[in-house]
């Protein structure tokens, strides 16, 4: 496995379009794509080329049952299982920031009422979902409301140090308190993604919620 420095990031478009990046690089590159319009265009163009490869070889046809199986599974699953948050709150505006901190304080107080007072704690607002991160010493607790995870998926928390995400526990949807299994320090980011059941060593899903410690 290799790690990537900034100037090399631009060389990764082709491998990304082929889904051929090592997991850490994929994660780093996806964060880079968030801020690089030229890279997004390059990936989009290369992907059109990559998708042609899907047609290159003759292959057996799927069994007829597969269509029904997929449609049934889709019907059983709710159409929008990701975080429900009013659309107008999504842009980071002053209004959103205020609303988020109100939610954070509210949830923080609620969380406070759930535990004994020990080390001094800080309440950090969470972006992307209603909730808060409560840091006490190097222990972090996420108090978070998420939709139920889709079948065979689970939420997973990450403590991100620099560019390295460390797994910090898997959990189900609903409103709950999640004690992070990885210590949290100043400057870390705590993030939540949707992963395959059982969790993962490196994140694959998009970041659904995050908090900067």
- Binding residues (CB under 8 A) for another protein: these are 1-2, 11-15, 17-22, 40, 44-63, 66-67, 69-71, 73-75, 77, 79-82, 150, 204
Instruction: Find the angle CA(14)-CA(16)-CA(21) to the nearest 5 degrees.
Output: 115
Q: Tell me the closest approach of the beta carbon of residue 59 to another protein, in angstroms.
A: 3
Q: Which two tokens stand for residue 117?
A: 């007072």
Q: Tell me the closest approach of the beta carbon of residue 9 to another protein, in angstroms.
A: 12
Q: Tell me the closest approach of the beta carbon of residue 91 to another protein, in angstroms.
A: 16
User: Which residue, 72 or 115, is less far from another protein as judged by CB?
Assistant: 72
User: Which residue, 112 or 204, is less far from another protein as judged by CB?
Assistant: 204
Which residue, 42, 55, 24, 65, is CA-closest to 204?
24
User: Which residue, 3 or 93, is less far from another protein as judged by CB?
Assistant: 3
Q: Tell me the closest approach of the beta carbon of residue 65 to another protein, in angstroms.
A: 9
Residues 6+ apart with CB under 8 A from 8: none
DSSP 166-204: EEEEEE-SEEEEEE-SS---TT-EEEEEEEETT--SS--
User: Which residue, 150 or 169, is less far from another protein as judged by CB?
Assistant: 150
Note the residue count of the chain: 213
SS3 for 94?
A: helix
CA distance 76 to 24: 34
User: Which residue, 13 or 191, is less far from another protein as judged by CB?
Assistant: 13
Q: Are 152 and 143 in contact (CB under 8 A)?
A: no
Q: Tell me the closest approach of the beta carbon of residue 168 to another protein, in angstroms.
A: 21
């Amino acid at each position: 496995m290799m790690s990537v420095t900034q100037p090399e990031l631009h060389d990764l478009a082709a491998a990304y379009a082929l889904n051929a990046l090592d997991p850490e690089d994929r994660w780093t590159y996806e964060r880079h794509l968030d801020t690089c319009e030229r890279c997004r265009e390059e990936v989009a163009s290369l992907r059109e080329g990559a998708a042609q490869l899907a047609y290159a070889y003759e292959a057996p046809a799927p069994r007829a049952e597969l269509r029904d199986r997929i449609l049934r599974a889709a019907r059983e699953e709710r159409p929008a299982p990701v975080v429900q948050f009013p659309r107008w709150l999504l842009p980071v505006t002053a209004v959103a920031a205020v609303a988020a901190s109100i939610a954070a304080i509210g949830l923080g107080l609620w969380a406070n009422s759930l535990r004994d007072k020990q080390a001094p704690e800080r309440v950090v607002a969470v972006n992307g979902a209603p909730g808060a991160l409560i840091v006490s010493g190097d222990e972090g607790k996420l108090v978070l409301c998420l939709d139920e995870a889709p079948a065979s998926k689970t939420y997973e928390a990450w403590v991100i140090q620099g560019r390295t995400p460390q797994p910090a526990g898997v959990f189900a949807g609903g409103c709950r308190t999640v004690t992070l299994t990885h210590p949290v320090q100043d400057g870390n980011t705590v993030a939540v993604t949707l992963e395959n059941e059982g969790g993962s060593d490196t994140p694959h899903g998009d970041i659904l919620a995050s908090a900067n410690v």
